[in-house]
Amino acid sequence: MTAQPKLVGFACRWCSYAGADLAGTSRLEYPASVHLIRVPCSGRVDPTFVIRAFQRGADGVLVAGCHPGDCHYASGNLFARRRFALVKRFLEYLGLEPERFRLEWISAAEGRRFAEVIREMTADLERLGPNRKLREDP
Amino acid sequence: MPRIGAFICHCGLNITATVDVERVAARARAIPGVVHAETYKYFCSQPGQEKIAEAIRSSRLDGVVVAACSPSMHEATFREAAALAGLNPYLVQIANLREQCSWVHSHRETATVKAAALVAAMVAKVRRDQPLEPIRLSVYPRALVIGGGVAGMQAAWDIAEAGHSVLVVEREPNLGGRMAQLSETFPTLDCASCILTPRTAEVARHPRIELLTWSEVREVSGYVGNFSVKIARRPAFVDWDRCIGCMLCQEKCPAPAPIAFEHGMGMGKAIGVSFPQAVPNRPVIRREYCRRFQGRKCQVCAKVCPVGAVDFEQAESFREEKVGAIVVATGFDVMPAAQFGEYGYGEYPDVIDSLAFERLNSSSGPTGGVIRRPSDGKIPREVVFIQCAGSRDPDRGKPYCSKICCMYTAKHAFLYRQKVPDGQAYVFYMDIRAGGKGYEEFVQRTVDQAGAMYLRGRVARVYPEDGRLLVEGVDTLSGTTVEVAADLVVLATAVLPREGARDLARTLKIAVDEHGFYSEAHPKLRPVETMTRGIFLAGAAQAPRDVAETVAQASAAAAKALGLLTRGELAADPLVAQVDEARCSGCLVCRHVCPYQAIEPRDVAARKVASVNPGLCQGCGACAAICRSGAMGLHGFSGKQVLAEVEAICL
């Protein structure tokens, strides 16, 4: 078996982390590539976290939060949206393939969607191969 | 060197079926700083918790990672267990091996490798956790109830009876809400005002209840136990303290005004109350219909008022109130006419909705309780009721059942037959949903005793012919098309959240569902709480429901509010932001992104730094993410912790 891509996911505890839990209770199978890091809000995710993940060899990074308008803290995901629109362009400028970074809105009721996003991203990452661009040599 | 213990749960077969827990434990043992790792069948069980406590004591652990189910399941359990064993509860982290690993993967090797990485990430995180104490918050012993309908009144009454003071804010001039508009209530046929009026009077007289009607909540700041609320009172143009409630003004006012209370069925006056039993019994001037405000000479009300209470110069006024808990009971609206072109609603005067039928049927209504059709005042001989007008209709965006319509339509058909013994009621329905004590029996009575003709099917269209309305539909049980000539058509229109409910949700920072009803924190276990601590829900603002359920839910919300108010103090999670003042540049960008106004500037040694109010901070971390100098931290989710998790995962 070929090595699975490594996907680091930042998930807000109110929506997307709960959505991932729902995928679990619904027994929706998806690739084991993803490792979630629980954060209070997508607005907590510092671009440094994303860039560090790529530097340490993550093949893809997902930031997932509540749908706009549904943020538990009212506006956190809107900050995330603005911030990661820029970060995404910056990563592409650095030469990273756009599929390697995604910002997604996944609600606590969208277990199916969570599984779907992980499947899609994993398929993209398998196609792209390992991230060599930003990875620092160990 | 830290002394961390890792506890890998089998969760029966839930985790072990996919993950090799012994290998995960072995991998954990190899992590520097991990001095203890064990596996057990169920760590959440009493013996399981005892094992953790024993290891904390014997191995002098200063950090614990439990690799088990989602933290939303048992984080609190394991934190408590650790605290009992003498470890600070905030030095416990949960690796989610069940919901996010064993249940969603089937390949044992990859799932085990992932599980080990998740444990390593939590070990990295817990090493950087600090012992924390819960934040103690004082609770201001007063509740705010938004909405003065039957839900709001019940909640206010229960809280006040338990000994706490309550402020009720109602948008209309008088208490009563939707229930005051109803004629009778199902299935007992009690007259609605007969049961509501005494309750209204009790609420109004209660020494611990303060009423603010004709008022709206404009701003809410603060947090559980300590909300600060800005309330706007619209100008009534009558000094209510002076007014004696004689209503001479209303009697003499020459300007008719369509008042919302009559729901299109009757006119009120530009000055007055909505209905005779109104509480408080004080009038308002409806500016848009008042002759004086239209620039004409009039001022009849001012002339006839025996106490000189009319005040055309009155302006909107504001007040700030402090409360510890909030009950939201804003009720419902019904779907507006414009949505029902095929039924001619809004076009033909004799097509009305059920709320209008309530007014026609009400003894205090515009017809004195005689059912007359709006167009010519004739008593209708044939009435067609159309259920599910908008409800269970995904095309109109309302796939849900409005829940109350089957029962009130049966009530309408029953009451109609009582008042018009030779009349015939037809009911077009999709299904009859009569779950409730005595409900199904009541529908049967409507069929058997009132002779209502129930036709299962949809109505295609309604059009006028020879002064009557032709209703074309299908009876899907017999498979035939049906045509009924009716004098009156009554639509059971879909229940919607009150107009402005979304704006109020934003003001309160609570969530709404896709249809605009307020979201409960958990559909089963926390049905009257919102995700915002200290804010509770009652009545049809949360979902369509009838009077009995509304009252029950209002009492539940009151009990939850009392749970807060009766404690002088409560504990909150200390996972809040904190400033490293040495690194803070004082730019205060953090202040602009904080949704809770929790950050204020503070002078330290002749320079300005940010300072966080831990009572206001909800721990969202927006400030920590935006801080350019890395001065803003967040307990439990610090930059160092998250980066350590990233490194552990990517290793």
Query: Do A39 and B642 lie within an 8 Å CB cutoff?
Result: yes
Both tokens of B361, joined, read 């049927």
B327-331 mean pLDDT: 98
Query: Do A83 and B625 lie within an 8 Å CB cutoff?
Result: yes
d(CA B23, CA B216): 61
Query: Do A32 and B634 lie within an 8 Å CB cutoff?
Result: no
From chain A, the residues in CB contact with B634 under 8 A are 40, 44
Query: Do B637 and A57 lie within an 8 Å CB cutoff?
Result: no
Average pLDDT of chain B, as a whole number: 95
Residue A133 lies in a domain: no
Residue of A nearest to B635 (CA): A40
How far does A100 lie from chain B, in Å, by closest CA?
15
From chain B, the residues in CB contact with A21 under 8 A are 70, 72, 96, 99-100
- Check residue B92 and give its pLDDT: 98
Both tokens of A98, joined, read 């756009």
CA distances from B612 to B550, B577, B633, B639 (A): 40, 7, 11, 17
Strands B271-272 and B284-285: antiparallel
d(CA B204, CA B609): 49
Give the model confidence (pLDDT) of B227-284 as tens digits.
Answer: 999 999 999 999 999 999 999 999 999 999 998 999 999 899 999 999 888 999 999 9
Indicate whether B161 pLDDT > 60: yes
Residue B94 three-state SS: strand
Half-sphere exposure (CA, 13 Å, Cβ side) for B109?
4
Indicate whether B606 pLDDT > 90: no
How far does B546 lie from chain A, in Å, by closest CA?
27
CATH, residue A59 = 3.40.50
Query: Do B637 and A46 lie within an 8 Å CB cutoff?
Result: no
d(CA B314, CA B298): 17
Query: Do A57 and B650 lie within an 8 Å CB cutoff?
Result: yes
From chain B, the residues in CB contact with A58 under 8 A are 646, 649-650
Residue A135 lies in a domain: no
Both tokens of B203, joined, read 């609420």
- Report chain A residues touching chain B, CB-CB < 8 A: 1, 4, 6, 8, 10, 14, 18, 20-21, 23-25, 27-32, 35-41, 43-46, 48-49, 52-53, 56-58, 70, 72-76, 79, 83, 115
d(CA B161, CA A137): 70
Residue A112 lies in a domain: yes
Candidates B510, B650, B651, partner chain A, best to mutate (most A CBs within 10 A) = B650
Both tokens of B538, joined, read 């009652």
From chain B, the residues in CB contact with A54 under 8 A are none
ipTM entry: 0.97
d(CA B524, CA B465): 51
Query: Do A41 and B622 lie within an 8 Å CB cutoff?
Result: yes
Indicate whether A117 pLDDT > 70: yes
Residue A138 lies in a domain: no
How far does B585 lie from chain A, in Å, by closest CA?
18
Residue A119 lies in a domain: yes
For residues B389 and B492, is the Cβ–Cβ distance under 8 A?
A: yes
Which residue spans within B89-203 are E strands per DSSP?
92-96, 135-138, 142-146, 165-169, 184-185, 190-191
B93-113 mean pLDDT: 97
From chain B, the residues in CB contact with A37 under 8 A are 121, 642, 645-646, 649
- Check residue A138 and give its pLDDT: 65
CA B579 and chain centroid, separation: 35
Query: Do B531 and A44 lie within an 8 Å CB cutoff?
Result: no
Give the model confidence (pLDDT) of B406-430 as tens digits.
Answer: 999 999 999 999 999 999 999 999 9
Candidates A25, A42, A44, partner chain B, best to mutate (most B CBs within 10 A) = A44
From chain A, the residues in CB contact with B531 under 8 A are 14, 72
Query: Do B509 and A74 lie within an 8 Å CB cutoff?
Result: yes
Structure confidence at residue B506 as a pLDDT band (50, 70, 90): confident
Candidates B24, B99, B114, B641, partner chain A, best to mutate (most A CBs within 10 A) = B99
- Check residue B223 and give its pLDDT: 86
Residue A63 lies in a domain: yes
**How deeply is A85 buried, as exposed, middle or buried, from its count of CB atoms within 10 A (0-12, 13-18, 19+)?**
exposed
Q: Which domain covers residue A40, as residue numbers?
A: 7-128
Structure confidence at residue A2 as a pLDDT band (50, 70, 90): low
How far does A34 lie from chain B, in Å, by closest CA?
8
Query: Do B593 and A44 lie within an 8 Å CB cutoff?
Result: no
- Check residue B524 and give its pLDDT: 84
Sheet with B424-429, edge to edge strand ranges:
B351-353, B488-493, B382-389, B424-429, B453-456
d(CA B554, CA B400): 22
Residue A33 lies in a domain: yes
Both tokens of B360, joined, read 């026609």
From chain B, the residues in CB contact with A35 under 8 A are 114, 117-118, 121, 649
Residue B643 three-state SS: helix
Q: How many CB pairs under 8 A join A and B?
A: 132
- pLDDT cut 70: percent of chain B above it: 100
CA distances from B28 to B36, B37, B124, B648 (A): 9, 7, 11, 12
Give the model confidence (pLDDT) of B534-592 as tens digits.
Answer: 999 999 999 999 999 999 999 999 999 999 999 989 888 899 999 999 999 999 999 99
Q: For chain A, what is the domain count?
A: 1
Least confident interval from A115-129, B28-42, B417-431, B564-578: B564-578
B18-27 mean pLDDT: 98
Give the model confidence (pLDDT) of B78-92 as tens digits.
Answer: 999 999 999 999 999
B492-517 mean pLDDT: 90
Both tokens of B313, joined, read 């110069």
Query: Do B100 and A18 lie within an 8 Å CB cutoff?
Result: no
Query: Do B121 and A35 lie within an 8 Å CB cutoff?
Result: yes
Indicate whether A1 pLDDT > 50: no
- Check residue B221 and give its pLDDT: 86
Query: Do B621 and A70 lie within an 8 Å CB cutoff?
Result: no
In sequence order, the β-bridge partners of residue B320 are B230
In sequence order, the β-bridge partners of residue B612 are B599
d(CA B93, CA B408): 53
Give the model confidence (pLDDT) of B376-385 as tens digits.
Answer: 999 999 999 9
Give the model confidence (pLDDT) of B347-363 as tens digits.
Answer: 999 999 999 999 999 99
Structure confidence at residue A108 as a pLDDT band (50, 70, 90): confident
From chain B, the residues in CB contact with A86 under 8 A are none
Residue of A nearest to B530 (CA): A72
- Check residue B511 and give its pLDDT: 80
Structure confidence at residue B20 as a pLDDT band (50, 70, 90): very high
For residues A56 and A7, is the Cβ–Cβ distance under 8 A?
A: no
Question: Shortest CB distance from A44 goes to which of B509, B624, B649?
Answer: B624
Residue A23 lies in a domain: yes
For residues B81 and B88, is the Cβ–Cβ distance under 8 A?
A: no
Which domains are present in chain B?
A: 4-127 (3.40.50), 142-234+316-331+498-565 (3.50.50.60), 248-304 (no CATH), 333-496 (3.50.50.60), 576-634 (3.30.70.20)
From chain B, the residues in CB contact with A23 under 8 A are 99, 104
Q: Which residues contact A111 (CB under 8 A, 6 or more apart)?
A: A19, A20, A21, A22, A23, A24, A25, A26, A28
